[in-house]
Amino acid sequence: MRSQGQVRFITITTRMQMTVAAVVLAAVLGWAISMSVMAFNQYRASSERASLLEREAHVAQSEERFDAYSDDLDATVADLQARQEMLDGIVEMLPEDLVAEAEDTVSDSSEESAELISMMREVFPEAVGLAQIEARQLATVEALTLYADRRAARAEAAIRELGLDPRQVADSSTAMGGPFEGMFGDGDSAIDPRFERLGLSLARMSALERGMETIPQFMPADINSISSGFGYRRDPFNGRATMHSGLDFRAPHGAPIYAAAAGEVTFAGRKSGYGNVVEITHNTGIVTRYAHMSGFNARVGMAVEAGDRIGAIGSTGRSTGPHLHFEVRVNGRAVNPRHFLETAPHVLEEARAEFAPHAAAAGQ
């Protein structure tokens, strides 16, 4: 080392070099070991977290909802009020026996709701009341969903008993449209899945029960006046064997003819062999046909209910005297109407009476 014109020499001994090298090596080893430990800890933490996700899912839900309460209490109140208004509207449309059944289970809160209420009581007591309201709402939603599913299952069983496909009966709306209006307005993206499930269950129940009304179940004329049944018979004009695709009801000229089920008149006019004919489409793959009429009380496009008068008995077309020729066609194929007319009223009434005994007693 040169300093002020003088040169000095510093000697680094072998021992000193070894000491410095040992210190550096120890530092490198220490760094490598610490990094390995950190990596191992991260891997172990990741594995433990993955294994606990399913078990802690309900905790995460409760924590998320707790954060929602904490961040904006006013928004939470508005959301709960919107839910309650929706529930009130649904309950007003349901029969009294449904409301009674729902009230029996409304106080049964789930584990998730109980945990949330407990959390609120400890750290956010101001929001305990809101958490309790939400718990009651969820219990009500679950009860109504269960009830709707039970009613839908009963309606489905009744439809199957009549030999029809419940999916076709429920899928009766062939033309639908209009603006989208969510259950909670613009906040639908955050809707609780249990509320959405309730809406779907009620929609299915409603579709199946509406579909039941479109199944032939009302006698178009006096059952005691049936003069010819469904199946092969001797033709009244030429005496040859022929297939009779309906029922014949003999009655005086001008006697009333009634719609067998709810539907829409899709034909009213003359058809070869049938004379004056009215056809009603029932949106379930079923069409009922009323022939040999002397007059019409229905026009194309008219909506009718079971039991509505649609015409009068006559002898138009290929007929030997005043009578009603009545057909039921499922997906274009003629079936025996007697099966529907004699079986459907009892099967469908039992399905209705199970969940609405007050309506059945009133004759609705």
What pLDDT tens digit does each residue of the chain (364 aa) get?
Answer: 666 667 767 676 677 677 767 766 776 676 667 676 676 566 565 555 555 555 544 555 566 666 666 666 667 767 777 777 776 676 666 555 544 444 443 334 456 667 777 776 776 666 677 777 777 777 778 778 888 888 888 888 888 888 888 887 776 544 444 444 454 444 444 567 777 888 888 888 888 888 888 889 899 998 778 888 888 777 777 777 788 889 999 999 999 999 999 999 999 999 988 999 999 998 778 999 999 999 999 999 999 999 999 999 999 989 889 999 999 998 888 888 988 888 888 787 777 676 554 333 333 3
Which residues face 68 on adjacent strands?
A: none
pLDDT at 162: 82
Q: What is the DSSP string of 277-322?
A: EEEEE-SSSEEEEEEEEEEES--TT-EE-TT-EEEEEB--SS-SSS
Q: Under DSSP, is residue 250 helix (H, G, I), strand (E, B) or coil? A: strand
Position 239 scores a pLDDT of 72
10 Å CB burial of residue 63 (0-12, 13-18, 19+) is middle
Burial environment of residue 240 by CB neighbours within 10 A (0 to 12, 13 to 18, 19 or more): exposed
Class of 223-361 per CATH? Answer: mainly beta
Residue 264 contacts residue 304 (beta carbons within 8 Å): yes
What pLDDT sits at residue 292? Answer: 95
- Is the Cα torsion angle 123, 126, 127, 128 positive or negative in sign? positive
Give the pLDDT confidence score for residue 277 in this predicted structure: 96
Note the pLDDT of residue 52.
Answer: 52
Q: Identify the residue whose tokens are 């407990």.
A: 118
Q: Which amino acid is at 229?
A: G
Side chain identity, residue 279: E
Question: Could you tell me the residue ranges of all domains in the chain?
Answer: 2-42, 60-173+192-213, 223-361
